[in-house]
């Protein structure tokens, strides 16, 4: 084995180890609204569910190098969530993988990634940010807590939210079970590599 002490590595090297080892990662395509009302959309693969009582999810926008803008080193998504307390997680299926990737473009806050990606905004029920119509499942969330794990560029910020509404495409859900084949979610590996979820195995849990 090769062993690495992160304290002796560059930030980029640690990032590469983490994104190479922690795979596959599900992708949250996160929709937010700025205080000025600009719709923002960006994918985040440091994303997971936390528990079901209350239904809780988290995703982690990392800090950028500092700049002179009002947002400072916060990504637009983080700034919007901190200012408005609401977001929507949209599941990325294979059909919208390229559009989700287009939404990751580093563009100024006044540009809406809905337009860049060609995805369609549809009104949410319980929060102000829109859902992505083409996404097979969406979760409307209210912010619970924001935790800064550091203040340096590359530090992760944990955004914890409570799901206040689930939406699943009608043909994909039966008795609350979601059909994985129909959902056709994609995930992220390291760098530019993504993964499909079509090669599945069944394992019976021991009693």
Ligand X SMILES: Cc1cc2nc3c(=O)[nH]c(=O)nc-3n(C[C@H](O)[C@H](O)[C@H](O)COP(=O)(O)O)c2cc1C
Segment near ligand X (CB under 6 A); pick from 40-48, 49-57, 123-131, 171-179 = 40-48
Dihedral sign, Cα of residue 34, residue 155, residue 50, residue 205? positive
Query: Does residue 93 bind ligand X (CB under 6 A)?
Result: no
Tokens 């287009």 sit on residue? 102
Could you give the CA distance from residue 7 to residue 61 in angstroms, rounded to a whole number? Answer: 22
**Nearest CA among 108, 97, 109, 124 for reference residue 43:** 97
Query: Does residue 130 bind ligand X (CB under 6 A)?
Result: no
**Nearest CA among 74, 91, 86 for reference residue 157:** 74
At residue 92's C-alpha, the angle toward residues 103 and 50, to 5°, is 110
Could you give the CA distance from residue 86 to residue 32 in angstroms, rounded to a whole number? Answer: 7
Q: Which residues contact 62 (CB under 8 A, 6 or more apart)?
A: 46, 75, 153, 154, 155, 156, 157
Residue (3 or 192) nearer to ligand X, CB: 192
The only residue of 26, 34, 58, 77 in contact with ligand X, by rule CB under 6 A: 77
Q: What are the structure tokens assigned to 67, written together? A: 């700049």
Query: Does residue 89 bind ligand X (CB under 6 A)?
Result: no
Query: Does residue 31 bind ligand X (CB under 6 A)?
Result: no
The only residue of 87, 114, 137, 188 in contact with ligand X, by rule CB under 6 A: 188
Query: Does residue 42 bind ligand X (CB under 6 A)?
Result: yes
For the chain, the farthest-separated pair of C-alpha atoms sits apart, in whole angstroms, at 58
The only residue of 62, 93, 117, 124 in contact with ligand X, by rule CB under 6 A: 62
Segment near ligand X (CB under 6 A); pick from 57-65, 118-126, 128-136, 143-151 = 57-65
Q: What are the structure tokens assigned to 186, written together? A: 């994609």
Query: Does residue 27 bind ligand X (CB under 6 A)?
Result: yes
Query: Does residue 185 bind ligand X (CB under 6 A)?
Result: no
**Nearest CA among 197, 19, 16 for reference residue 91:** 197
Residue (42 or 119) nearer to ligand X, CB: 42
Query: Does residue 90 bind ligand X (CB under 6 A)?
Result: no
Query: Does residue 45 bind ligand X (CB under 6 A)?
Result: yes
Whether the CB-CB separation of 169 and 178 falls below 8 Å is answered with no
Query: Does residue 199 bind ligand X (CB under 6 A)?
Result: no
The only residue of 5, 67, 70, 106 in contact with ligand X, by rule CB under 6 A: 106
Query: Does residue 135 bind ligand X (CB under 6 A)?
Result: no
Residues that bind ligand X (CB under 6 A): 27, 40, 42-46, 60-62, 75-77, 101, 104, 106, 188
């Amino acid at each position: 084995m090769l062993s690495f002490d992160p304290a002796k590595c560059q930030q980029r090297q640690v990032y590469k180890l983490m994104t190479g080892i922690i795979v596959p990662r599900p992708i949250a395509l996160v929709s937010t609204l700025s205080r000025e009302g600009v719709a923002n959309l960006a994918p985040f693969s440091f994303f997971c569910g936390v528990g079901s009582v209350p239904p809780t999810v988290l995703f982690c926008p990392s800090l950028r190098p500092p700049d002179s803008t009002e947002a400072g080193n916060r990504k637009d998504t983080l700034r919007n969530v901190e200012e408005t307390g609401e977001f929507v997680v949209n599941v990325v299926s294979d059909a919208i993988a390229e559009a989700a990737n287009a939404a990751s473009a580093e563009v100024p806050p006044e540009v809406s990634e809905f337009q860049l990606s060609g995805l369609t905004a549809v009104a949410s029920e319980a929060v102000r940010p829109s859902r992505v119509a083409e996404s097979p499942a969406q979760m409307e969330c209210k912010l619970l807590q924001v935790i800064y794990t550091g203040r340096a560029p590359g530090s992760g910020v944990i955004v914890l939210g409570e799901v206040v509404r689930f939406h699943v495409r009608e043909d994909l859900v039966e008795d609350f079970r979601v059909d994985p084949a129909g959902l056709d979610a994609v995930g992220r590996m390291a760098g530019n590599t993504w993964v499909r979820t079509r090669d599945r195995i069944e394992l019976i849990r021991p009693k």
